[in-house]
């Protein structure tokens, strides 16, 4: 069902500093910051030959990243994102197998302009999983 790894998301307390580390210290190509108010985050994508790193920073008071950073002040891996061909078919199969889809269960538009869903970390070895339709 899952395809390739699309990205690994890292929540960061200082987006400018994290961007500079990947760009200047590690020599990676990084995107401009993109605000996603519907998700409560600002993101920067680090482009790698085989995948991407998504740097996440809270946007607004209700950001889901705020709570994560309160527990992990220096930041850390927030989620992994896998590609799927058909997000609704993947959702339905996962739900039938007992996996919990977060939110209302309906896909939202993600940072790449494609439908995404998040799966409960307790169902996936403690890892928050994002599915993105390609």
Q: What is the pLDDT of residues 83-110, one digit of tens each?
A: 999 999 999 999 999 999 999 999 999 9
In the beta sheet, which residues pair with residue 131?
82, 117
Question: CATH no. for residue 54?
Answer: 3.10.180.10
Contact between 10 and 78 under an 8 Å Cβ cutoff? The reply is yes
The mean pLDDT of the chain is 97
Q: Is 108 helix (H, G, I), strand (E, B) or coil?
A: strand
pLDDT tens figures, 42-75: 999 999 999 999 999 999 888 999 999 999 999 9
Q: Which pLDDT score, from 0 to 100, does residue 61 have? A: 84
Boundaries of domain holding 94: 5-133
User: Could you give the number of structural domains in the chain?
Assistant: 1
Active site residues: 130
Q: How far apart are CA 32 and CA 123, in angstroms?
A: 33
């Amino acid at each position: 069902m899952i395809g390739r790894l699309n990205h690994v998301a890292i929540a960061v307390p200082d987006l400018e500093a994290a961007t500079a580390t990947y760009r200047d210290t590690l020599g990676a190509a990084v995107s401009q910051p993109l605000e996603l108010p519907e998700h409560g985050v600002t993101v920067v994508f680090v482009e790698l030959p085989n995948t991407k790193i998504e740097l996440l920073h809270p946007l607004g008071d209700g950001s889901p990243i705020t709570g994560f950073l309160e527990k992990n002040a220096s930041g850390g891996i927030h989620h992994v994102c896998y590609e799927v061909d058909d997000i609704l078919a993947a959702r339905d199969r996962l739900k039938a197998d007992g996996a919990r889809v977060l939110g209302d269960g309906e896909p939202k538009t993600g940072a790449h302009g494609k439908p995404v869903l998040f799966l409960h970390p307790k169902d996936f070895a403690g890892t928050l999983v994002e599915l993105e339709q390609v």
